Structure 1
Amino acid sequence: MNHVLCGLAANPALPSELVDRLVKMADDDVAAALADRGDLSRTQTAELAAHGEQAAVRLAHRGTLTAADIDPVTQPHAALALLEEGAGCPEWARLLASDPVAEHREKLAGCPGLPSDVVEKLSADADIRVVAELALWTTPEVAARLARHPHAEVRSAVAANETTPPAVLAALVTGEGLAPAWRCLVCDREATPFVHDPYCPRTDCRLPPGAACDGSHQSAMHELYERAVRNPATPAEAVVGFAGHSSLQLRWALAARPGLPPRVGVRLAEDPTGGVRADLAGNPAIGEALMRRLAADRDPEVRRALALNPRVPLDVLARLADGTKIGATLLPRIAAASPAEVAELAASPSPAMRMLLAVRRDLPPHIRDALAADGDAKVVKSVAGHPGLSEARLRAMVDRHGDPVVAKVAANPDASPELLESLAQRRPPVRKALREIARHRRATPSALLVCLADDKARRIAAGHPALPPPVVVDLLADDDCQVAEAAAANPSLPPDVMAHLVP
């Protein structure tokens, strides 16, 4: 990969005539970078699409290609990308439905709005992967029909389709009204009974590790059950019996289900696996009594998951915050706090709760300023990035708490150029702060030059438009290819240097 040319291809200041030259000589990497530009002309777009399928697919997904730019015979991947975006021609779908390459038909099966005759053809495809992909994305009517398909892989895909009618999903789980599946991926390939070796040495083997069939297609049916449990359209009563199943995967999937009946939640709260209890704790469907019970769980991951539950009571959250490592993250319950609750949280005797509140970026100015003057560094660190803080308050944070808050102050969108220079000059340097300064829109040339001394900040600063042009030019030859690529993408790179770089 030519990192300098890739960076140059992404440079927003690259003149159109140099874009033309790059399009003509681009390899796949440069073409991919060019395809992400938002200023390509129609001629450049068409020429780039003709360059290769990789670029054409990117352009199709970006919405810059039209059906007139693509030949589906020579560029099937690009045609499929347009069909996937709903911008292709129906005739392409008919053509690709007969494509000898199964991967192309499989990709087509996942496209929306296919003509009915194409759907019929794909539903009878000789490759079961094609039919399964269709079942995964198709309409309720076709999904209901494919639920009776003799192959378990297709039925499993129907179980994952959220448009499948609820009654059909229930039947897939219970088997009521459906004849048993005849085949699965295992018995398609192997004599049964068969259990696939997790360390299978065959390079051409596509069976998943542990896949098994003794005539009952057990691994395929297990996948069907798990998909049905995870499908929110599946009636809860059809899957609640899995709460006592021997399969950890099924219990785990059930614990996160929306609309979980209370009795099932109580049973899963006793599960021996912490991950099951953690997903249950984070489930908004559980009631307050169960939340209070899970708040005392011995597993810290369960308690942390409960803290992330958007319906956790604030008093329970306060207990969790004081005894569980949650981190300075915006919790859903904090984000949804009412004005009265915000005032209550700001006055909380718990520094952990004040810290969690300080992460919000829509606080009233008087509460924001009060948290900025807090005596606890964790609280100040959390509020330091809040827009609207004055220069004086930001400097006071640094004066009072020092290095622990410097990086967050440097990330504040309202930090002045003078403050950023001051933070960059601290000795010893605060490396996380240098990385924030390197990406700050107000960073000055002198501050950015200091940032170049840190390896990670250097990669960011090399692309900053305030970096002096001579320095940007020097960085094109940097030993770190990421630095060189960032410098080549810097809009401050002189046009004559850009012209010299393009062959």
Structure 2
Amino acid sequence: MNHVLCGLAANVSLPSELVDRLITVADPDIAAVLADRADLSHAQALALASRVEESAVRLAYAGRLTAADVDPVAQPDVALALLDERAGRPQWARLLATGPVVERREKLAACPGLPRDAVEMLAADSDVRVVAELALWTTPDVATRLAGHPHAEVRRAVAANEATPPAVLAALLTGQGLPPARWCLVCGREQTPFVRDPQCSRADCDLLPGACCDGSHESTVRETQRTALGNPAAPGEAVVSFADHSSPLLRRALAARPGLPSQVCGRLAVDPHPAVRADLAENPSIDDALIHALATDPDDDVRRRLAHNPRVPLDVLAHLAGAFRLGATLLPRIAAASPDEVEELAQSPNPAARMLVAQRRDLPPVIRDALATDPDAKVVKSIAPHPGLSEARLRAMLDRHGVQVAAKVAANPDATPAVLEDLARHKPPAQKALREVARHRHATASALLACLADTKARPIAAGHPALPPPVIAELLTDAAWRVVEAAAANPSLPLAVMSELLPQLQL
């Protein structure tokens, strides 16, 4: 791979005439980058597709090629891409539906808006992979018909299709009203009864661990039920009975469904498998009583997942935050907090509660500034990236907490060039801060030069437009390929250097 040219292909400052020259030397790697250029003309797209055939599919998906540019016989994959984007011609679907390559028919089956006769051909395809792919994406009427397909794998795909009518999903869950399936992927290849050994090392076996069939296609039926339980179109009356099912996987799928009746939630809340309770804990269907019960669950993951429930009371959430590291994330309940709740959290004596609300980026200035002076470093670290903080407040954070907050201060969109320069030269070096400085829009040449000394910040700094052009040119010969690509993609790379790179490679 030529990393200089790959980077150059992504350079937004590359003039059109140099794009033309780059196309003439493009390989598949360079072509993949060129195909994503926003300024690529139709003529350039055609030239690139002609030069590197593999790029044509990418260009079709990007809207750079039209139906008039494509021969579906010579370029079936490009035709498929346009059909997938609803930009192809109906007759192409009919042609490709009878093609000899299974993978292409399978890809066609996933395309939207196919003509009815092509759909019928795909529904009758001799390869179950094609029919199953159609079942996954097709219209309600075709899904209804395919729910009775003799192959269980097709029925599993119907169960995943959100266009499948509720009554059909109910039949797939219960097995009532459908003729028995005749085959599955297991009995289609193995002598039954068969159970795939999880340690199976056969090179010709691509069945999932635990796949089994004794003639009833049990593993595929179980997966069909699990899939249908996760389908939002499945009717409530058909799913609730699975709360007492013997399979923990099916109970997990049920526990994650929104809108569960309270009595079902109550049964799942005392499930012996922690994973079931964890899925339930994040479900907004549970009431306050269950939330408080799950907040004392003996399993750590249950309580962590409860923190992500949008209905968790703030006092429970603050308690959970104090017990676990929830990460630097804005939790749903905090994002939905009212102005009064935000003020209450910001004034809480519990630093975990203050840390949670500090993750918001729309705080009133008075609350934002108060949290910026918090005595707890974790709270300050959370508030440091909040827009609107003055240079004085950012410096005060650094003076009090040093490297603990340096990276988050550097990530503040309003960090001034002077603050970034100081961070770039901080002693001891704050490596995470250097990476944030290297990508900051206010970073100066001086700060970026300091960032180049850090292995992880170096490729980020190499792509920053404030880096001096002579330094960018020097980085084109760096030992690290990521640095080379970033430098070549740097919009401040001198035009003369860009121009010199191509003739040298054409010799």
Tell me the TM-score normalised to structure 2 length.
Answer: 0.97
Q: Distance in 2 between matches of 1:69 and 1:25?
A: 22
Deviations 1:201-231 (A, max 9, x none): 4433332222211110111101101111111
User: 2:438 is aligned with what amino acid?
Assistant: A
Q: Following TM superposition, by how much is the alpha carbon of 1:66 offset from its aligned partner in structure 2, in angstroms?
A: 1.4
Given the alignment of the two structures, is residue 455 of structure 1 paired with residue 462 of structure 2, yes or no? no
Aligned to 2:155: 155
Q: Distance in 2 between matches of 1:275 and 1:49?
A: 49
Q: Following TM superposition, by how much is the alpha carbon of 1:21 offset from its aligned partner in structure 2, in angstroms?
A: 1.4
> What are the residue-to-residue correspondences of 1:283-362 with 2, within 5 Å?
283-362=283-362
Aligned to 1:65: 65
User: 1:413 is aligned with what amino acid?
Assistant: P
Residue 407 of structure 1 aligns to a residue whose secondary structure is: helix
Query: Unaligned stretches of 5+ in structure 2?
Result: none
Runs of 4+ in 1 over 6 A off after TM superposition: none
Tell me the TM-score normalised to structure 1 length.
Answer: 0.98
Q: Distance in 2 between matches of 1:252 and 1:61?
A: 37
Residue 188 of structure 1 aligns to a residue whose secondary structure is: coil
Q: Distance in 1 between matches of 2:377 and 2:441?
A: 26
Q: Following TM superposition, by how much is the alpha carbon of 1:49 offset from its aligned partner in structure 2, in angstroms?
A: 2.2
Q: Following TM superposition, by how much is the alpha carbon of 1:261 offset from its aligned partner in structure 2, in angstroms?
A: 1.9
Deviations 1:103-128 (A, max 9, x none): 00000001100101111110000001
Tell whether the 8 Å contact from 1:53 to 1:77 is kept in structure 2 after alignment.
Answer: no
> What are the residue-to-residue correspondences of 1:33-48 with 2, within 5 Å?
33-48=33-48
User: 1:226 is aligned with what amino acid?
Assistant: R
Q: Distance in 1 between matches of 2:244 and 2:455?
A: 53
Aligned to 1:169: 169
Q: Distance in 2 between matches of 1:492 and 1:424?
A: 21
Aligned to 2:20: 20
Deviations 1:318-351 (A, max 9, x none): 2212222212310100000011111111111111
Q: Distance in 2 between matches of 1:97 and 1:78?
A: 15
Aligned to 1:229: 229
Q: Distance in 2 between matches of 1:221 and 1:499?
A: 62
Aligned to 1:419: 419
> What are the residue-to-residue correspondences of 1:375-454 with 2, within 5 Å?
375-454=375-454
Q: Following TM superposition, by how much is the alpha carbon of 1:237 offset from its aligned partner in structure 2, in angstroms?
A: 2.3
Tell whether the 8 Å contact from 2:309 to 2:332 is kept in structure 1 after alignment.
Answer: yes
Tell whether the 8 Å contact from 1:35 to 1:55 is kept in structure 2 after alignment.
Answer: yes
Q: Distance in 1 between matches of 2:202 and 2:500?
A: 51
Q: Distance in 1 between matches of 2:13 and 2:327?
A: 40
Tell whether the 8 Å contact from 2:27 to 2:52 is kept in structure 1 after alignment.
Answer: no
Aligned to 1:261: 261
Query: Unaligned stretches of 5+ in structure 1?
Result: none
User: 1:474 is aligned with what amino acid?
Assistant: E
Q: What is the percentage of aligned positions where both structures have the same residue?
A: 70
Q: Following TM superposition, by how much is the alpha carbon of 1:92 offset from its aligned partner in structure 2, in angstroms?
A: 1.0
User: 1:92 is aligned with what amino acid?
Assistant: W
Q: Distance in 1 between matches of 2:23 and 2:351?
A: 57
Q: Following TM superposition, by how much is the alpha carbon of 1:422 offset from its aligned partner in structure 2, in angstroms?
A: 1.1
User: 1:159 is aligned with what amino acid?
Assistant: A
Tell whether the 8 Å contact from 1:462 to 1:483 is kept in structure 2 after alignment.
Answer: yes
User: 2:50 is aligned with what amino acid?
Assistant: A
Q: Following TM superposition, by how much is the alpha carbon of 1:272 offset from its aligned partner in structure 2, in angstroms?
A: 2.5
Aligned residues: 503
Aligned to 1:31: 31
Aligned to 1:219: 219
> What are the residue-to-residue correspondences of 1:105-124 with 2, within 5 Å?
105-124=105-124
User: 2:303 is aligned with what amino acid?
Assistant: R
Q: Distance in 2 between matches of 1:470 and 1:324?
A: 49
User: 1:400 is aligned with what amino acid?
Assistant: R
Residue 81 of structure 2 aligns to a residue whose secondary structure is: helix
Aligned to 2:142: 142
Aligned to 1:274: 274
Tell whether the 8 Å contact from 1:197 to 1:209 is kept in structure 2 after alignment.
Answer: yes
Q: Distance in 1 between matches of 2:53 and 2:352?
A: 53
Q: Distance in 2 between matches of 1:317 and 1:426?
A: 36
